Structure 1
Amino acid sequence: MSSLNSFLVDLGNVGIGLLLLTVILLVGAWVFSRLTRFDDKKEIEKGNEAAGIYMGSKLLGLCIIVAMVSYSSSDWLMMLAWSAVGILVLCLVYFLVDKLLPAFRVCEEIEKGNIAVAQLLRCIIIGISIVVGTLLM
């Protein structure tokens, strides 16, 4: 019977984790969409692949941070707190990249559908998310 109880506790933890991850991703998507100078949802609905890559990369980066935090801690509040830090870090990355690439503006290029810029940002976002997540372990 103890293995059944353990299974049920683990199943409950998975459910709680998925619920929290959903909330974190919704908040992250909302914050990230407020940061851009264009309407992410409309651009993605229009089929702007660059906008989809960019938003997907930010959400994947957030998932990486959440995964690494949840791996090292079973405290749900810490997961939420570090997820908020992850959202702030990814927002900071956006501002830094936008300022450090003087040849073009990130939002303008994504809105124009520039997939090369989206791919560059994808690599930067995922790389930084892995580093930040590792530091939180």
Structure 2
Amino acid sequence: MILLTAVVGIIQLIVAVILAVVALYIGFSVFGRITGDVDEQKELAKGNVAFGIVVAAVFVAIAVVVQSGITGIAVGVSKASAVGLMSVDGLTIIGIAIIQLVLGVLLAIAAIYLALTILDKLTTGLHEFEELKKGNVAVALEMAGVIIAVALIIQSGIVGITAALG
């Protein structure tokens, strides 16, 4: 039984690492679409601290959401092992947990995009991404706060889904 638990734990770790890398890649790619004609990598390479703050906030936000989803997968694997990992019920439970994680990441990315779009509309006299290109740290902190706040709210939803499945 201890060996099975260790193997399940190692598999969960591997899945978590893979999903984290994929989610961060997707998040950075989507962020690139949000910024429009700004070359994020170029801004980071020239040491634009403001851009670095916002990119870091995107990564933290995605990590918060992925962490919640991984917790859901851990709960799912534990339940699946109780009914048999390879049984129909066990595979269904694991499948639901993975779908929950994927939906959580997609919702987080969509919510960050929506929040930044709404922020742009609310601050009519301010063009956030132009300010970031200029290195405006105040705007970067504002955007980072919005991004992280949205992630924390999404995380609560994912935790709620995990609890409901429990």
TM range (shorter): over 0.9
The gaps in structure 2 that reach 5 residues or longer are 77-96, 160-166
Give SS of 2:124's match: coil
Counterpart residue type for residue 80 of structure 1:
V
Contact 2:34 2:113 in 1 (8 A): yes
User: Displacement, 1:128?
Assistant: 1.7
Describe the superposition over 1:57-87 as per-residue Cα deviations: whole angstroms up to 9, x where unpaired. 0121111122223324442232112211111
Corresponding residue for residue 65 of structure 1: 65
Q: CA deviation at 1:135?
A: 2.0
| CA root-mean-square deviation | 1.3
CA distance in 2, matches of 1:70, 1:103: 40
Identity rate of aligned residues, in percent?
A: 26
Q: Which has the larger radius of gyration?
A: 2
Q: Which amino acid is 1:29 matched to?
A: F
Residue ranges of structure 1 left out of the alignment (5+ in a row): none
CA positional deviation for 1:103: 2.6
What pairs up with 1:9-48 in 2 under 5 angstroms? 9-37=8-36, 38-48=38-48
Who is 1:8 aligned against? 7
Runs of 4+ aligned structure 1 residues displaced above 3 Å come to none
Which of 99, 111, 115 is equivalent to 1:77? 99
TM-score for the superposition, normalised by structure 1: 0.92
Aligned to 1:96: 118
TM-score, length basis structure 2? 0.77
Stretch of structure 1 that moved more, 18-27 or 63-72: 63-72
